[in-house]
Amino acid sequence: MTPVWFMRQAGRYMDEYRALRQRYSLLEICRTPDLATEVTLQPVRRLSVDAAIIFSDLLLPLDPLGLPFDFIKGEGPQIERPIETPADIDRLRPFEPRDALSHVLDAIRQVQEELDGHVPLIGFAGAPFTLASYAIEGGHSNNFAKTKSLMYAHPDAWHRLCETLSAVVGDFLLAQIEAGVDALQVFDSWVGALDASDYREFVLPHTRAIFDRIGGRVPTIHFGTGTATILEELRDAGGDVIGVDWRIPLDEAWARIGHDRAVQGNLDPTLLLGPPARMFQQTDALLGRVGGRAGHIFNLGHGILPSTPVEHVQMLAHYVHTASRRLR
Ligand code: CP3
């Protein structure tokens, strides 16, 4: 049976999440272990998923580094004073995640107590490129112009920034392992903005340092979007499992990554908006490409969209289980 979980399986598409968000901000939920625990468990109660992912946000480490931010309604994250110069990079303060992010670690312990072995818990953090892009752009970007300009104009400062991010993220992930996560996903959501040669020069050593620090203590997933042209580079940076978005057929991606690694993906999240017949048809096509080969984790190519009907997510999780059992 193919295991299934969904990126953003907790969130706005669920009534019970929206109800909590009426009373608390996203950051309040992230910083209150009772609330983060509740939201982590909401999808596990509603969907037949085979994993929970700790409810948190990729940007949390930016604040203790010296880059405070907030989420602005309808606009997404906004960093108060984004990095503009090499001097701004030298002002960043490495920190101890067991202190500054202890609320995430407390939530992990609390979730594990409640799950009691029912399904594994995935912890996560952002990879250096994606974190740097928020720190430099100040929010979301379409072309990553500021990030790439800094990278090209001040390569030494860029590498210092990524070394700092990689050290902090490595510490944070080790602390999550100590707190009890069963697996880790490293999100490099926006790294598809780079070509293979820039990836190798500016990103690969820093992301690899993170996987090296984890050193096989728990299984790891390395995820990005828009990565069809840099899959080999992502693989070389590390990860027992490589996450693949929907823009490339999964069998083609897997052949390039190599069958000695597992893969995760890659249904287009917009298919969950409906109609269900097309969602099922494309799920059949995806499972057909896998052809019963061991080492596939079913997921979407990116996160669940807020306008997704929860019934479609429920049906899909169930469908993947029954259809993949038939194929084996
Ligand atoms: O269920 C899960 O997947 C766990 C929770 C989770 C959140 N953020 C909660 C969240 C995870 C894994 C993340 C990671 C994250 N955060 C990423 C990488 C994953 C990806 O989607 O590529 C990124 C880039 C961020 C930064 C971030 N957080 C952005 C750009 C936004 C705003 C965009 C949006 O969707 O509104 C967020 C907000 C955020 N983080 C929400 C959730 C559920 C939105 C919900 C809300 O406002 O209540």
Mutate-to-test residue for ligand 1 from 8, 108, 124, 186, highest number of ligand atoms within 8 A of CB = 8
Predicted TM-score of the model (pTM): 0.97
Q: What token pair was written down for 86?
A: 């090499």
Q: Which of 16-25, 219-228, 249-258, 317-326 has the lowest mean pLDDT?
A: 317-326
Q: What is the spatial distance between Cα 90 and Cα 9, in angstroms, rounded to a whole number? A: 37
Ligand 1 atom closest to Cα of 43?
Answer: 1
Which of the following is catalytic: 134, 188, 198, 240? 134
Q: Give yes or no for residue 3 having a pLDDT over 70.
A: yes
57 classed as catalytic:
yes
Ligand 1 atom closest to Cα of 225?
Answer: 22
Q: Give yes or no for residue 328 having a pLDDT over 70.
A: no
pLDDT at residue 74, as a whole number: 85
pLDDT tens digits, residue range 207-253? 999 999 999 999 999 999 999 999 999 999 999 999 999 999 999 99
Burial 100-114 (b: 16+ CB within 10 A, else e): bbebbbbbbebbbee
Q: Give yes or no for residue 191 having a pLDDT over 70.
A: yes
Q: Give yes or no for residue 133 having a pLDDT over 90.
A: yes
Mean pLDDT to the nearest integer, 286-298 = 97
Residues paired with residue 241 on neighbouring β-strands, in sequence order? 221, 262
Pocket residues for ligand 1 (CB within 6 Å)?
7-12, 21, 26, 53, 55, 57-59, 71, 76-77, 124, 140, 187, 189, 303
245 classed as catalytic:
no
81 classed as catalytic:
no
User: Where do we find the tokens 């790439």?
Assistant: 148
Q: Give yes or no for residue 327 having a pLDDT over 90.
A: no
pLDDT tens digits, residue range 71-90? 998 889 999 999 999 999 99
63 classed as catalytic:
no
Residues paired with residue 28 on neighbouring β-strands, in sequence order? none
17 classed as catalytic:
no
Confidence of residue 154 (pLDDT cuts 50, 70, 90): very high
